[in-house]
Amino acid sequence: MKKVHNFNAGPCVLPKQAVESAIEAIRDFDGTGIGLLEISHRTPGWERVMAETEQLWIELLGIPAGYKVLFLGGGASTQFFMVAANLLNKKAAYLQTGVWAKKAVKEAKMFGEVEVVASSEDRTYCYIPKNYTIPTDADYFHITTNNTIYGTEIKYDMDCPINLVADMSSDIMSRPVDVSKYALIYGGAQKNVGPAGVTFVIVREDVLGKVERQMSTMVDYRTHIPESSMFNTPPVFPIFVMHETLKWVKELGGLEVMHKMNNDKADLLYNEIDRNKMFVGTADKEDRSIMNICFVMAEGYKDKEADFMAFAKERGMVGIKGHRSVGGFRASTYNACPKESVQALVDCMQEFEKLNA
């Protein structure tokens, strides 16, 4: 089999041991003789997996008392309106740093006033806005910590005068997080913590039940908390893979170790982009993402884009084409992307430079 290096932005590369465990569980879950895809979610073995998965989240992120972890369907895009439905009573504030943040703003406007405190749309979202003021009369302030399309990232836990809400779809579990600084964290699993099909929500319980509107049963987070995310049938398969993926993170040493590994991978590729005269990074250096590394052909070499794409594909690089809205290249170096793959991409860029510069 040809060696491939998976840089897809999501669904993305998974730990090999998580994939192997999932294959075995599909054949026979927990020694029951019934496959994971056929098992009842009321089976004791499955209830144990749910409890263990929640405990892994609590342990790895150091989630304090007063918070609940939920595993829901619908993707992060569903959370764009669920967050507002549960938390927006009069007004919310948003930082607009990319397409997904903009979509979150659109959904929130259906529930009340939304103030966009700052936006980087003026420069195609290639930076994180600075020196903005968070309105203290807002119910919450929403940020998107990592912007997959444009390769920018908020790499710290900010102090916020009001409830802080974060979409961490594409950088959760990539670094330690001070959860106590957030009222709510959410995201899709398909970047760092599993396959598509399940969404995580970490919510501080005391922020719920404050809105004046009536909510649909499934939209209300308070429906799912007492039922341990099993008010209805949960997305069993992706939760199982999440469980196995988080076990892998823990076995590696947790988020401090994972953060160092991710920084090492990002530094390796960014150093080559900055050195190689044929390529240039698209995000401001101070705001560069360690999850999604975006770059284009440099001036004088733009006619070589298709050639490099074909050259890289021949050498096993998969998923490096930039998002259709911006073009160029994007290497997503999520947790399970091995450093060897990043080195292979660097070697490919160096070889292309020798042949074409």
Say whether 175 sits in a helix, a strand or coil: coil
In the beta sheet, which residues pair with residue 317? 5
User: What distances in angstroms separate CA 231 from CA 115, 218, 329, 330, one per listed residue?
Assistant: 34, 9, 42, 39
**Burial (CB count within 10 angstroms: exposed 0-12, middle 13-18, buried 19+), residue 157:** middle
Q: Residue range 150-176: average pLDDT?
A: 98
Instruction: Identify the band that residue 16 occupies on the pLDDT scale cut at 50, 70 and 90.
Output: very high
- Residues belonging to the active site: 100, 167, 191
- The whole model's pTM is what? 0.97
Residue 6 near residue 312 (C-beta atoms within 8 A): no
Residue 83 near residue 108 (C-beta atoms within 8 A): yes
Instruction: Identify the band that residue 3 occupies on the pLDDT scale cut at 50, 70 and 90.
Output: confident
**Residue ranges of the domains in the chain?**
16-252, 254-356
pLDDT, position 325: 80
Instruction: Identify the band that residue 354 occupies on the pLDDT scale cut at 50, 70 and 90.
Output: very high
What is the domain class of 254-356 according to CATH? alpha beta
Is residue 20 predicted with pLDDT exceeding 70? yes
- Find the length of the chain: 357
| Cα 62 → chain centroid | 18
| H/E element, 45 | helix 44-61
Which two structure tokens, joined as six digits, stand for 79?
A: 């959370």
| H/E element, 72 | strand 67-72
Instruction: Identify the band that residue 85 occupies on the pLDDT scale cut at 50, 70 and 90.
Output: very high
Is residue 2 predicted with pLDDT exceeding 80? no
State how far the Cα of 9 lies from the Cα of 285, in Å rounded to an integer.
20
| Cα 169 → chain centroid | 3
37-83 residue pLDDT tens:
999 999 999 999 999 999 999 999 999 999 999 999 999 999 999 99
Strands (E), the chain: 5-6, 67-72, 91-96, 113-119, 141-144, 146-147, 152-153, 164-167, 184-188, 199-204, 279-281, 292-297, 317-318, 329-332
116-140 residue pLDDT tens:
999 999 999 999 999 999 999 999 9
Mean pLDDT over the full length of the chain:
97
Is residue 272 predicted with pLDDT exceeding 90? yes
DSSP assignment, residue 120? -
State how far the Cα of 60 lies from the Cα of 258, in Å rounded to an integer.
11
Same fold for the pair 16-252 and 254-356: no
pLDDT, position 210: 96
101-119 residue pLDDT tens:
999 999 999 999 999 999 9
Bridge-based pairing of strands 91-96 and 113-119 is: parallel
State how far the Cα of 244 lies from the Cα of 29, in Å rounded to an integer.
13
State how far the Cα of 223 lies from the Cα of 201, in Å rounded to an integer.
13
For the segment(s) 16-252, the CATH number from 3.40.50.300, 3.20.10.10, 3.40.50.460, 3.40.640.10 is: 3.40.640.10
Is residue 1 predicted with pLDDT exceeding 80? no
HSE of 72 in the Cβ direction (CA atoms, 13 Å)?
27
Q: Compute the C-alpha angle 268/270/271, nearest 5°.
A: 65
324-350 residue pLDDT tens:
888 899 999 999 999 999 999 999 999
192-248 residue pLDDT tens:
999 999 999 999 999 999 999 999 999 999 999 999 999 999 999 999 999 999 999
